[in-house]
Amino acid sequence: METTTSTTRTYRHFFIVALLCLSAGVWIGHLGLWSYLLPEHLKDILPFRMLRAMHVTLVVAWIFAAAIGGVYHYIQKETQGNYKPILLKIHLWGYVLLGGIILLSYFLNRYGGREYWAFPPPLAIGIAVLWLLFAWNTFKAAWNYKQEKCLLEWPLYLWMWATGILFFLYTFTEVYLWTLPFFGKTVLRDITVQWKAYGSLVGSWNMMVYGTALYLATRPEAFRSYACSKTAYALYLIGLANLIMGWAHHIYPVPTYQWIKTLAYFISMTELIVLGKLLWDWYRFPPRFQGPSPYRYYLIGGDIWVFLNLLLAIAISIPAVNLYAHGTHLVVAHSMGTTIGINTHILLASLFYISEPLLSEHQRRRSITFFYLFNIGLIIFWLGLIVAGFHESPLIGNPTTPHIKYLPQSNQWMWVVLIASIPIAIAITGITTILIKRLLNAVS
Amino acid sequence: MKAKRVFFLLFLFLLFMFGYSWQVYRAFPKRERLLSDKAYQGKLVFQKYHCIACHQLYGLGGFMGPDLTNVISRSGEAYVKTILQYGTARMPRLGLTQEEIEAVVAFLKAVDSSGRFPLKKDEYKIQWYGDYYLHY
């Protein structure tokens, strides 16, 4: 058993919290699908609005907790910086307490916020304070590193984590601008700013997750210099531009200023460069699922989901295509593909990378089996949402068609989505059980 | 020297970012109207019951129920009030007070007058490069 310090114990606790959130989030999402498809029977026992809010909160909590734990762990490894154990503990237990209060508020039907951040707005203050603590901890640790190395020589993943941390604070503040009458007492301005904040906020956590992916991908000695290369920095700048201005592809049909939307269109098309780079890399180094390391499987899985989601994201960012995709399950396929497909694969890769020395041969093999089960379920789930979206889109352009008319066509595919969510939930439960067992052993 | 150049570029970047954000914040399109106090109350009620989990405004939100952007002009105030009061086979009875129902209707009327969704064929024009603009 390796010796664990107080700080390593704390960020391992972050991982355990993250995995519990993931497992619960996926099962609640599954229940939400039942509620979506059979509201006549379940609307009072399992209200969709409550399950959706819980599902979103838990999955977002998974992404943040796994990313935060990873950033703490890797920054300490990279910079040799030290954290104050008490501050890490306050962060962890504050996170758990706040998450519990948010879930309780949903359970008691106390809302007041908006889509995705549906909890009563005062709780957002707690999130902001905890994030400031996270920023303080990480920047303080990285400061020692800065003194040793010039800022310009930082590997890109450090810049990506820093970008994600700072942009979250900025965009999270934007999310709550609606509480000011200047924004809240309007319709179009409010929707515009809301989606500016949401789009950029997702971009900010993506910076943290993709920074983690870059860190993992550059661990083999042969690839280490890539983290400081001009190509990597160029791709980062594309990501940054999309983070700041790409959001408006969500609001093409909203009658706000055209320049905001046209700019977003052109910025979104820069993702074609990322797509081209990904294909070029695959041509040079074809991805191979082999070897005993589960983290490599999950990292390559994340890469494949980046490719699939880029195709979908670029397609629905073209306004003429978006006309038919907006307001349908095609958009849900995009968000599920991003959160479950890309983020979850990368973060699981990160957790497997950290836990690898603790895993037995049998656990590695099982983790790889669960990887395949997870992906079989996920691809059917994703395609089901896309086909459901196609069924809805011709009718979206016909305002006289009542919603109830196109539900049967769309819902037959939502049943496929529900069935596909079962292997996903089983695989996630299996993966989280393996990882939690190992992490618990390591911290005890 | 190199560091100074980088910090200058960083400063320019931040200037651009805040300038861009400010332009977005102050956008007040021609169809925009300030919400009345009653409509604003309705908006808060809409959030209090988390309606957006199942419904959409401008196609943004949950897909379980219909888009509500133009529900007032499409179905009428009386219909909306009845649904809000009693629910439907798919929608739970939320227990809104009469005052809350009136406020939500005022909010939905304001949304209705702000634009159209879904768009009809004669309400948008596709440009040669794939963008489209609204002209209703």
CB atoms within 10 A of CB A152: 10
pLDDT (0 to 100) of residue A400: 66
pLDDT of residue A87: 94
Check: CB of residue B104 under 8 Å from CB of residue B40.
no
Q: How far apart are CA A295 and CA A406, in angstroms?
A: 42
Give the rounded percent of residues in chain B with a pLDDT score beyond 70: 99
Q: What is the rounded average pLDDT of the residues A103-112?
A: 95
Nearest-Cα residue of chain B relative to residue A392: B63
Please report, as a single letter, which amino acid is at residue A300: I
What's chain A's average pLDDT? 92
What are the Cα distances from residue A393, in Å, to A321, A330, A379?
A: 10, 9, 21
pLDDT for position B28 = 85
- Taking alpha carbons only, the member of A287, A270, A256, A271 closest to residue A190 is A256
B56 Cβ contact partners less than 8 Å away, ≥ 6 residues apart = A327, B62, B63, B66, B67, B68, B69
- Mutating which of B63, B69, B88 best tests the A interface, going by the most A Cβ atoms within 10 A? B63
- The CATH number of the structural domain formed by B37-121 is 1.10.760.10
Please give the DSSP secondary-structure letter assigned to residue B67: B
Q: Is A185 on the interface with B (CB under 8 A)?
A: yes
Per-residue pLDDT reduced to its tens digit, A121-149: 999 999 999 999 999 999 988 887 766 66
Q: For residues A386 and A336, what is the distance between their CA atoms, to the nearest angstrom?
A: 11
Highest mean pLDDT (candidates A130-134, A277-281, B14-18, B122-126): A130-134
Question: Is B53's CB within 8 Å of A184's CB?
Answer: no
Determine the Cα–Cα distance for residues A115 and B53; give it in Å rounded to an integer.
7
Q: Judge whether A53 is closer than 8 Å to chain B, CB to CB.
A: yes
The residue extents of the domains of chain B are 37-121
Q: Per the structure block, which two tokens stand in for A392?
A: 């809805």
pLDDT digits (tens, 9 = 90+) for A393-415: 866 656 667 777 778 889 999 99
pLDDT of residue A1: 35
Mean pLDDT across the stretch B91-113? 96
Query: Across residues B83-90, what is the average pLDDT?
Result: 94
Contacts B27 to A, Cβ<8 Å:
188-189, 192, 256-257, 260
Which residues of chain A neighbour B92 with C-beta distances below 8 Å? Answer: 43-44, 47
pLDDT at A399: 62
Residue A265 — very low, low, confident or very high, per pLDDT cuts 50/70/90? Answer: very high
Cα dist from A197 to A42, A173, A342, B111, whole Å = 33, 8, 21, 20
Cβ proximity of A36 and A410 under 8 Å: no
Task: Name every chain B residue with its beta carbon within 8 A of the beta carbon of A326.
Answer: 59
Looking up tokens 């979103």 gives A56
pLDDT digits 0-9 by tens, A66-102: 999 999 999 988 887 788 899 999 999 999 999 999 9
Burial class of residue A417, CB neighbours in 10 A (0-12, 13-18, 19+): buried
Write the ipTM: 0.94
Tally of CA atoms within 13 A in the half-sphere of A406 that contains its CB = 26
- Helix-helix angle A123-148:A85-107, to 10 degrees: 150
Instruction: Give the up-direction half-sphere exposure of residue A367: CA atoms within 13 A in the CB hemisphere.
Output: 30
Do A187 and B117 count as a contact with CB atoms less than 8 A apart? no
| Residue whose tokens read 């595919």 | A413
Residues of B in contact with A191 (CB under 8 A): 57-58, 60
How many angstroms away from the CA of B28 is the closest CA of chain A?
6
pLDDT > 90 in chain A, percent:
78
